[in-house]
A = this chain, B = another copy of it.
Amino acid sequence: MLARMGRLEVKPEQHAALVDGRPLSLTVRELQLLITLSEHPQRIMTREELFAEVWGGRPRSDDRSVDVYVSRLRAKLGAALPGRRLIHTHNGIGYRFSPEG
């Protein structure tokens, strides 16, 4: 379970995510979220699915944790890979990880 997509590498067993070989400084939650997303490339994942994988259980109906962590993750990915948008929003549904454009 190791993934390389372009300049990004995700290594769950090493608790690491690398860009051009350099580790991103992600928190545990951010890394779990990135791992979860990257394990299902091009697939639209609902908030419920993401929450279940990263936090466990079901989110409160008004829980915004997933959104907040997607935002934080985007900020760090965006800093390391300017001009790329790896995580796409699907309004009313959830998020999709797209390693290639």
Contacts and interface: CB of A to CB of B under 8 A. Distances in A.
A92 interface: yes
Interface stretch (A39-47, A54-62, A79-87): A39-47
Chain A contact-residue range equals: 20 to 34
Interface in A2-25: 14-16, 21-23, 25
A44 B16 contact: yes
A96 interface: yes
Contact of A93 (B22, B28, B43, B46): B28
A14 B27 contact: no
B23 A96 contact: yes
Contacts of A92: 27-28
